[in-house]
Amino acid sequence: MTMKQKKDAPSRLAPAFLNGMCVGRPLVIPFVTAGFPDKWSTPDVVEAMCVAGADMVEIGIPFSDPLADGPTIQHASEVALEGGMTVAGVLEIVESVRMRDDTRDLPIVLMGYFNPLLAYGLESFLDDAKAAGVDGLIIPDVPPEEGREYRAACVERDLSATFLVAPNAPDERIRIVDQFSTHFSYCVTVTGVTGARNEVQVRTLEFLRRMRSLALKPFVVGFGIKEAAHVLELGPHADGVVVGSALIDALSQGKEPATVAAELIAPLRAAAERIASSRE
Amino acid sequence: MTEQPKASPDAHGRFGAFGGRFVPETLMPALFELELAHADAMQDQAFRQELDGLLCDFAGRPTPLYEAPRLAADLGGPRVWLKREDLLHTGAHKINNTIGQALLARRMGKHRVIAETGAGQHGVATATVAARFGLDCTVYMGEEDIQRQRLNVFRMRLLGAEVVPVSSGSRTLKDATNEAIRHWVTNVETTFYILGSVVGPHPYPAMVRDFQSVIGREVREQLAAKGEAPPSLLIACVGGGSNAMGLFADWLDDDVEMIGVEAAGYGLDSGEHAASLCQGQVGVLHGARSYLLQTDDGQVKLAHSISAGLDYPGVGPQHAQLRDSGRVHYTAVTDAEAVEALQLLSGREGIIPALESAHAIAELYKRARAGELPGDARIVVCLSGRGDKDVEAMADYLRNHPNEDIGARP
Ligand SMILES: Cc1ncc(COP(=O)(O)O)c(C=O)c1O
C-alpha cells in the first residue's frame, strides 16, 4: 500500500462506534502498556484480547513520569522502559498487529504522555503512527487549551484525537471537550489516577448522565473498571468501557495472554452483550 | 540588548514558547479557580496587608542587604552585597511563597495543603504556615532526600506535617512532584497544592514569582536607602528557579546583567548534573513546556546534585524564555566548586550558606579567578538559604574528599 492510500484509509473508529450504537452495547476496550511484561509479548496480548471479544484496543506508550497513573501502570511503564521499549518500538508493535489476520481491522488508539511524542517530533510521529496503522491518540497531559496544533495535525491525517473529562468538570467544560475530541471523548470515572477500584460511585453515574445529555459525540469511560459488574453498571451510560490496570495486574501474575483474555475480557464482553439484550 | 520578554505570561500562561498547562483534565477546573482567586486576592487591599504583615512579623522581612567586605576582597575588589534570605524564618526564601499560597488556600476555603520537597526547605516552609493557619499538611519527599535531609524531615514532623516517602523513579524531587500531583488529582476539590518553585502549570510560575519578587524589590529600596547606585550584576542559584526569579523579576527592565547558576553535579560532561538550561532540550514535564534533561526518546533523565534543592531535571518556564532571549545568562558549577564556596563564605564572612546558595558564590569565585569580574562590579547575590540543613551532608562529603577540606579558617 502506498502512503497516499493509507492516508485516505477511512478510520476504523467510526464504524466501531456506529456498530456499538446499533446493537445497543458499549464497546469493550482493553488497555495494555506496550512492552509489558516484555518487548515481544504485546502483539500476542493484543491478539488474545481481540479474539476474546475486545472491540478496540488502547496501547500505552511508556513514560518515565506518568503522572495520571496509579502504581499498577507506573510499574508497567517502568518495566517496559527497562526492557528497552521506545516510541518507535510501539509503532513496530502496531505494524506487527496489523499483519495478523485477527487484528487487521481492530481499531487501535495509542495512549501516551506528550513529551516522548515531542521528542520524536510530533508531525513525524503522527505520520509514522498513521502509516503503522494507528487510528487515534489519547494524550492525558494535553487538555484542549494545549491541544490546538496537535488536534489539527491529527485531523489532517484522519487520526482521532481524544480529550479527557472528569466528574468535576462544569457543563461548559464538558461541551468544550466534546467539541474538541474528533471522534470520541474519554470520561474518567473519578477525580484521580488510573488503578483498579472496587466500587462504582454514585457521582460517576451522575457524571455520565450529565455527559450523555451534553455530548454530541460518543464517549468511553475508564479508570478503575475491572469486572463484569462494573460494565453492567457503567456500560449503559457510555459508548465504551476501558479496562487497564486490572489487565496489567493479571499479566503481572505471569499468566498467558490467552488465559488473561479468557478470564477477564470474555466476561466483560458477555456483560456488554447483556446490556444490549436487556435493551431489546 | 535583545528585545525584552514581557514579565507576565499571556492568557494561556505562556512565556513565549514556554509554560502552559499540560496537566490531566481533572486539574483544569482547579487551575482556573486558582488563577481567579489569586488575581482577585492581589486586588484586595486587606489580603495584601495581611500578606505584608506576615512577611514582616512572622517571616522576618525585610531581610538585610549585607555588604560582604572579606568576600569582596577575595574576589579582587568589586562591591558585593548578600541578600540575606537565609535569615528568614525557617532558613530560606521558600517561606515568602508559602505564606502567600497558604493565605490563598484559606481564602479559597481549603483546609488541606500538600507540597513536594527536595531539600526539605519548601516542605518545612509549608509545614510552618500550615501550623500557623491550622491547615492539615502532607509533604511528599523522595526517599533519597529523606536520607540526606534528615533534620528537615524531623522539623516537618515537629510542625505537625505528615511526610510521605516517595520510592518511585529517582526517589528525589522529580518523583516527589509526580506523587504530589497524583495526590492533588485525586483530592482536587478539598486540597490546595502549595508548589515550591516557579515551575508547574500556569498560574504557578507567575504566582510563585510574584510572591518571591519581594526579594528584588527590597534590594532596590535598600540600595537606594544606602545612597548606592544600582547594581551591575545580579546572581542567584537556579533549581526550579524561584529565588532567582524573585531577585530578577523587578530588574528585568533595568540595565543590569543577570546570571543564574545551575548545578553541574559531577561536571557538565559527566552526564550527571542538574543543568537543564545549560544542557537540556525543550520538553514538557510537570505541566509546563521548558528546558528539561531527557533522553533522545523523550524520557526524563535523573538529575544529580550534591544539593537536594537543585537536584531537579526541569526548570521554570520563564527562565527558559529568559535564556532564549539572552536577557539572563545561565551557567553551572560542580558539587566540588559549591562545597569549596560554602567553606570559603563560612570562613570569610561568618555565614554558612545552604549548598544551593553556595552555587552562586562559587560562580563568583570562578569568574574572579578567570579575571572576568571587573573591579568596579557591583554585585548582588541572593543568599537563598542557610547551611544548617547541609552540615551533615558536608561532613560526609569532606570525610570522603579530605583534600577538598580547606580547614576552619583558610
Ligand atoms: C536554600 C535554597 N536555595 C535554592 C533552592 C532552589 O530552588 P529555587 O531555584 O526555586 O530557588 C532551594 C530548594 O530547595 C533551597 O532550599
Domain borders along chain A are: 27-278
Name the DSSP class of A262: I
Distance CA A35, CA A90 (A): 8
Shortest CA distance to B239 belongs to which of B275, B268, B270, B200? B275
Mutation to probe ligand 1, out of B89, B311, B356, B390 (largest number of atoms < 8 A from CB) = B356
B281-315 confidence digits (pLDDT tens): 999 999 999 999 999 999 999 999 999 899 999 99
Q: Is the pLDDT of residue A190 over 80?
A: yes
Report pLDDT for B408.
55
Distance CA A54, CA A52 (A): 6
Mutation to probe ligand 1, out of B194, B243, B262, B330 (largest number of atoms < 8 A from CB) = B243
Residue closest via CA to ligand 1's atom 5 equals: B309
Evaluate: CB of B159 within 6 angstroms of ligand 1: no
**Gap from CA of A37 to ligand 1 centroid (Å):** 39
What mean pLDDT do residues B165-185 have?
A: 93
Distance CA B400, CA B390 (A): 15
Report pLDDT for A2.
38
Probe site for chain B from A63, A67, A180, A204 (most B CB atoms < 10 A): A67
For the whole model, what pTM was predicted? 0.96
- CB pair distance less than 8 Å for B299 and A63: yes
- Residue B296: its chain A contacts at CB < 8 A? 119
Query: Rg of chain B's alpha carbons, rounded to an integer?
Result: 20
When mean pLDDT is compared across A3-7, A86-90, B96-100, B397-401, the lowest value belongs to A3-7
Report pLDDT for A199.
84
Fold of A27-278: TIM Barrel (3.20.20)
Evaluate: CB of B96 within 6 angstroms of ligand 1: no
- CB pair distance less than 8 Å for A119 and B188: no
- Residue B181: its chain A contacts at CB < 8 A? 67
pLDDT category at B3 given cuts 50, 70, 90 is: very low
Distance CA B43, CA B38 (A): 9
A99-149 confidence digits (pLDDT tens): 999 999 999 999 999 999 999 999 999 999 999 999 999 999 999 999 999
Residue pair B60/B217 in contact by the 8 Å Cβ criterion: no
The torsion defined by the Cα of B285, B287, B288 and B290, in degrees rounded to 10, comes to -10
Q: Which residues of A are catalytic?
A: 58, 69
- CB pair distance less than 8 Å for A173 and B286: no
Q: Is the pLDDT of residue B6 over 90?
A: no
Query: Is the Cβ of A170 closer than 8 Å to some Cβ of chain B?
Result: yes
- Cell output for B64: 538585610
What mean pLDDT do residues A82-97 have?
A: 98
Report pLDDT for B149.
87
- CB pair distance less than 8 Å for B294 and A119: yes
The torsion defined by the Cα of A2, A5, A10 and A13, in degrees rounded to 10, comes to 10
pLDDT category at B1 given cuts 50, 70, 90 is: very low
Single-letter amino acid, residue A39: K
Residue pair A269/A243 in contact by the 8 Å Cβ criterion: no
Report pLDDT for B293.
98
pLDDT category at B322 given cuts 50, 70, 90 is: very high
pLDDT category at A198 given cuts 50, 70, 90 is: confident
- CB pair distance less than 8 Å for B186 and A193: yes
Distance CA B179, CA A160 (A): 30
Report pLDDT for B70.
97
pLDDT category at A9 given cuts 50, 70, 90 is: low
Probe site for chain A from B23, B297, B301 (most A CB atoms < 10 A): B297
Query: Is the Cβ of A201 closer than 8 Å to some Cβ of chain B?
Result: no
- Cell output for A3: 502512503
Shortest CA distance to B384 belongs to which of B232, B202, B245? B245
Distance CA B165, CA B180 (A): 11
Residue closest via CA to ligand 1's atom 10 equals: B242
Give A274→chain B minimum CA distance, Å.
Answer: 32
Window 156-185 of B, Cβ < 8 Å to A: 168-169, 174-175, 178, 181-182, 185
Query: Is the Cβ of B209 closer than 8 Å to some Cβ of chain A?
Result: no
Query: Is the Cβ of A90 closer than 8 Å to some Cβ of chain B?
Result: no
pLDDT category at A278 given cuts 50, 70, 90 is: confident
Query: Is the Cβ of A163 closer than 8 Å to some Cβ of chain B?
Result: yes
**Gap from CA of A220 to ligand 1 centroid (Å):** 43
Distance CA A162, CA B285 (A): 20
Residue pair B89/B60 in contact by the 8 Å Cβ criterion: yes
What mean pLDDT do residues B321-346 have?
A: 98
Decide which of B48 and A7 is more confident.
B48
Report pLDDT for A196.
82
Count CB atoms within 10 A of the CB of residue B268: 17
What percent of chain B lies above the pLDDT cut of 90?
92
B40-58 confidence digits (pLDDT tens): 999 999 999 999 999 999 9
Q: Is the pLDDT of residue A215 over 50?
A: yes
Report pLDDT for A10.
64
Burial (0-12, 13-18, 19+ Cβ within 10 Å), B217: middle
ipTM for the assembly:
0.95
Report pLDDT for A197.
84
- Residue A181: its chain B contacts at CB < 8 A? none
Distance CA A172, CA A178 (A): 10
Sheet holding B18-22, edge to edge: B14-15, B18-22, B287-292, B281-285
Name every residue whose Cβ is closer than 8 Å to that of residue B400 and which is 6 or more positions away in sequence.
Answer: none
Report pLDDT for B7.
52
Can you say whether residue B382 is alpha, beta or left, with left for phi > 0 and alpha for psi between -120 and 50 degrees?
beta
Length of chain B: 410
Mutation to probe ligand 1, out of B93, B248, B262 (largest number of atoms < 8 A from CB) = B93
Query: Is the Cβ of A222 closer than 8 Å to some Cβ of chain B?
Result: no
| Ligand 1 nearest atom to the CA of residue B118, by list position | 14
Query: Is the Cβ of A168 closer than 8 Å to some Cβ of chain B?
Result: yes
Probe site for chain A from B26, B291, B294 (most A CB atoms < 10 A): B26
Q: Is the pLDDT of residue A32 over 70?
A: yes
DSSP β-bridge partners for residue A58 = A31, A109
Evaluate: CB of B241 within 6 angstroms of ligand 1: yes
